Structure 1
Amino acid sequence: MTGPDAPAALSATGLGFRYRTRGGWALRDCEFTVPGGRITALVGRNGAGKSTLLHLAGGLLRADSGELCVLGTAPGTSEARARVALLAQDKPLYPRFTVADTLRMGQKLNSAWDQAAAEQPVREGDIPLHARVGELSSGQRTRVALGLALGKRPELLLLDEPMADLDPVARAGIMAGLMAEAAERGMSIVLSSHVLPELEETCDWVLVLRDGRVELSEDAEAVRESHAVLTGHADQADVLAGQHTVVQRRTAGRQTTALIRQRGPLRGDWHVERPRLEDILIGYLQAGDPGHPAPAERTEAAA
């Protein structure tokens, strides 16, 4: 179901999860809504809670506090399992099975199985159906695991760093196929990845985690339009915090560079640039860390 009355792909209220063996909270007090029909970039540094959130949504873990809903229902229920597919980072597959055996298993476990959709990423990678999974490269195993997920014809596809072991050409081809699926069928996709430039080109919603808490959950274009990188005299810096949300700021000598979320008209003499989504996300992930330059300074240095 798509459209304005469709349930959110993911929604959380007070969500928390604790790894007792590690003695800490992986997620805590998370509140967000991801609309249906979107391709969502799930962004965070290592240990921010991205994999934990995807495993909760896929029904592999249970929350310790709060509530998480997938497509309007509880994760792990029979209804959710039929509508949600998770491609985990470790891509668990039976090494002794052939590719054909693996897809046949998927067919037996899923009543709405689509064999053509399952075989597409496999055939595009020129992987023989008679090949044993244990003899495939890591990139080829990724294609087989993705075929299992797509053959299920899910309404919500959860991808945890799915293409880290694929070359850029293969990643681009798979992402193009996923975008076509989302557009044609209204499938929701939540994609965790560290490759921020690729996310900027493919995702229309961003969900940012920092230290187990939600920093952003918003339309990607709205994020771009509401943020600015300012450069000006350091004497003006203190005025910013009273008017706008200062995501990240660095002062060098008499000059200040700040990434802000603009909350109204700017006062003062500032040079203003509209940052890329990548720069905004990096700014949120680095906020509060000592020694990191502001996004605009990184870009100038790279140029």
Structure 2
Amino acid sequence: MTAPPCEDVAVRAEGLTKRYGKTYALDDCDLVLPSGHVVALVGPNGAGKTTLLRLISGLLRPTSGRVSVLGVTAPAGTVDIADTAAALARVGYVAQEHPLYRRFTVSELLRFGRELNPGWDADLGRERLADLDIPLDRRAAELSGGQQAQVALVLALAKRPRLLVLDEPLAQLDPLARREFLSTLMAAVAEDGITVLFSSHVVSELERVCDWLVLIAGGRIHLSSDVDTLLADHRLLVGPRNGHDETLGSAEGVLTVALGARHVNVVARTGTGPVSPGWEAHPLGLEDLVHAYLQHARTAPPAPAKEVRLP
């Protein structure tokens, strides 16, 4: 897709690389995320998701490359956004562990946040916690996992960020707590129009809230596009076996091929046009599309598939 103009870009990464010794956590990544979207960041364990989120949030320094956040680029002589307080003041971050000072009460956590953040909105924090029935006098250690996740999210939102970065916030939550967390998140998105970058393995939950997808595997960005376009452009094709099916996997636009006794199932970028005679086209859900791209990424270079026409 064509990159949006600079004023509409929440995150821009160019050649972003993070290396630990000889191991690359991220390898020469380019990425443009438009503002105002809820972005799903997906990939297998060890793909580089947390590294990317921490670089964007200023918690890590890249080995090379540069990242711009909300139009602010690291100043000359530096390589990362961590040296730019103007950008970091507008970024909220929630880690997978929902780290809170366990001996602090919720009220003390709010007061602590106020002291650290110049744009702190104390009323917003208290109102959201009241809506969630979370007592202000309760210590963090005494809260359930779901309540701790909600408090961590409210603390990030009370900062009044323009970009909210969430690293696997649903991983340790039960289904009800997940829905409550996502409900709080989407209410904030609707009210404040913030950009959200959301890493999670729970693709079925992401499908309900996200409108932009970034797929990362092996430390490389393999896909970045709006969800509606992706779902419209990709389909499951079902056709007859013809003796040449083994070559389908190398065709442009083909992501996966599954051979049956009489039929072959192909996930491919086909566009919206008609398919070849003898083939049937079926729509894909986001979870099926993500799984197809992850399978494709194991052997393919990080480039978007082109449209395909099957014989």
Q: Deviations over 1:132-167 (max 9, x none)?
A: 112222222212211110110000000011123333
How far off its partner does 1:240 sit? 5.2
Determine the structure 1 residue equivalent to 2:67.
Answer: 68
Contact kept in structure 2, 1:207 and 1:217, CA below 8 Å: yes
Secondary structure of residue in 1 paired with 2:19:
strand
Q: Which residue of 2 aligns with 1:126?
A: 133
Match of 2:279 in 1: 270
Aligned residue for 1:280?
Answer: 289
Once residues 120 and 193 of structure 1 are traced to their aligned partners in structure 2, the CA distance between those partners, rounded to angstroms, is: 27
Q: Which of 109, 113, 128 is equivalent to 1:106?
A: 113
Distance 1:48 1:29 in 2: 14
**Aligned mates of 1:179, 1:143 — CA distance in 2:** 13
Aligned to 2:32: 33
Deviations 1:48-81 (A, max 9, x none): 1111111001100011122211112232211111
CA shift in 2, pair 1:198/1:120, >3 Å: farther
**Aligned residue identity for 2:176:** V
- 2:89 is paired with a residue whose SS is helix
After superposition, the Cα gap between the structure-2 partners of 1:14 and 1:234, relative to the gap in structure 1 and judged at 3 Å, is farther
Alpha-carbon spacing, 1:155–1:190, altered in 2? closer, same or farther (3 Å): same
State the AA in 2 paired with 1:204.
Answer: D
1:6 aligns with 2:7: yes
Q: CA RMSD in A?
A: 2.3
How far residue 111 of structure 1 moved from its aligned partner, in angstroms, is: 1.5
Question: Which moved further from structure 2: 116-125 or 34-43?
Answer: 116-125
Q: Cα gap change, 1:288/1:54 in structure 2, threshold over 3 Å: closer, same or farther?
A: closer
User: Which of these residues, 229, 236, 239, is aligned with residue 232 of structure 1?
Assistant: 239
User: TM-score, normalised on structure 2?
Assistant: 0.85
State how far apart, in whole Å, the 2-side matches of 1:56 and 1:19 are: 14
What is the CA–CA distance in structure 2 between the aligned matches of 1:50 and 1:230, rounded to whole Å? 31
Equivalent position of 1:299 in the other structure: none
Structure 2 CA distance for aligned equivalents of residues 289 and 81 of structure 1: 34
The offset of 1:268, in angstroms, is 4.1
In 1, Cα distance between equivalents of 2:286 and 2:127? 31
Residues in 2 aligned to 1:88 and 1:288: alpha-carbon distance in whole angstroms? 26
| More deviation, 157-166/260-269 | 260-269
Secondary structure of residue in 2 paired with 1:9:
strand
Distance 2:26 2:199 in 1: 16
Amino acid at match of 1:25: Y
Q: Secondary structure at the match of 2:32?
A: strand
The unaligned stretches of length 5 or more in structure 1 are 291-303
Q: TM-score, normalised by structure 1?
A: 0.87
Secondary structure of 2:9's aligned partner: coil
Identity %: 44
For residues 228-248 of structure 1, what are the alpha-carbon distances to aligned partners after superposition, in whole Å with 9 as ceiling and x for unaligned? 101112326467568641111
CA contact (8 A) 1:121 1:174 kept: no
What residue is the counterpart of 2:184 in the other structure?
177
Aligned residues: 286
Given residue 54 of structure 2, which amino acid in structure 1 is its aligned partner? H
1:202 Cα offset (Å): 0.7
1:200 partnered with 2:201: no
Contact kept? 1:98, 1:133, Cα under 8 Å: yes
CA deviation map 1:241-264 (0-9, x unaligned): 686411111223342111001156
Given residue 88 of structure 2, which amino acid in structure 1 is its aligned partner?
Answer: R
- Which consecutive segments of 4 or more residues in structure 1 shift more than 6 A? none
Distance in 1 of aligned mates of 2:5 and 2:297: 38
Query: Could you tell me how far apart the structure 2 residues matched to 1:205 and 1:108 are?
Result: 34
1:116–1:276 distance in 2 versus 1, CA, 3 Å: same
The answer to whether the 8 Å contact 1:96/1:134 transfers is yes
- Paired residue for 2:306? none
- 1:261-299 Cα deviation digits (max 9, x unpaired): 115653342111011111101111122669xxxxxxxxx
